[in-house]
Amino acid sequence: MNHDAQKQAQRYIDIWNEKDAAVRRAAIDEVWTENAAYTDPLVTVEGRDALDATIAAVQQQFPDFVFRLAGDVDAHHDLARFTWELGPANAEAVVVGFDVAVFAEDGRIDTVHGFLDKIPS
């Protein structure tokens, strides 16, 4: 697989932070396949429309928080795993998660399996 997993993971995180709906949707269309699927303990969505709506809902729930990669992306074949954090821009993360991304042949993200390692009590 000839794609830069670190770069794609960062673009994925950037999409979760993009507040401009038109810009976010254009990025989703570019970074994700048509069959986009996202699953974590709280939600399962299929398709770019549902993914976009989920990201918008998370932004509404945490309007002043930002996502950021925590550490390096570990990748092999068509898989990448990485830890991310969500919290105020210059403060400790309130939520920490771990995602596994599955890439299509062309390097776009096809599926993400998400896990939540730290959530507010």
Residue 104 in contact with residue 37, Cβ under 8 Å?
A: no
- For residue range 79-91, list pLDDT tens digits in order: 999 999 999 999 9
Residue 98 tokens, joined: 């771990």
Q: Please check whether residue 8 is in contact with residue 109, taking contact to mean a CB–CB distance below 8 angstroms.
A: yes
pTM reported for the whole predicted model: 0.94
Mean pLDDT for the chain? 95
| Mean pLDDT, rounded, for 106-114 | 96
